[in-house]
């Protein structure tokens, strides 16, 4: 599996963090939502218990084509 990640855009939600939109594509094989999540989640996951600190727990996936998935990474702050 060779996954290419392309940044589509970003929405800044101020103190509530941001939403980062990514397109994951596998040019050699099919790519399911579950495979995309399993690839991306460990790369972006961050945890904190410090007030005001950054964390990332949630990645949403949406199938685009047989070999591409749109992902939304939710970047947040512990407020």
What is the tally of structural domains in the chain?
1
Write out the residue range of the structural domain in which residue 32 sits. 3-77
* pLDDT tens column, 2-12: 999 999 999 99
pTM: 0.92
* pLDDT tens column, 33-44: 999 999 999 999
Burial zone of 4 (CB within 10 Å; 0-12 exposed, 13-18 middle, 19+ buried): exposed
CA distance 46 to 30: 28
């Amino acid at each position: 599996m060779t996954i290419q990640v392309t940044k589509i855009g970003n929405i800044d939600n101020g103190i509530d963090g941001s939403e980062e939109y990514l397109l994951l594509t596998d040019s050699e094989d099919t790519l399911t939502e579950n495979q995309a999540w399993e690839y991306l989640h460990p790369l972006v996951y961050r945890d904190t218990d410090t007030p005001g600190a950054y964390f990332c727990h949630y990645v949403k996936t949406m199938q685009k084509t047989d070999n591409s998935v749109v992902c939304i990474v939710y970047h947040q702050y512990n407020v």
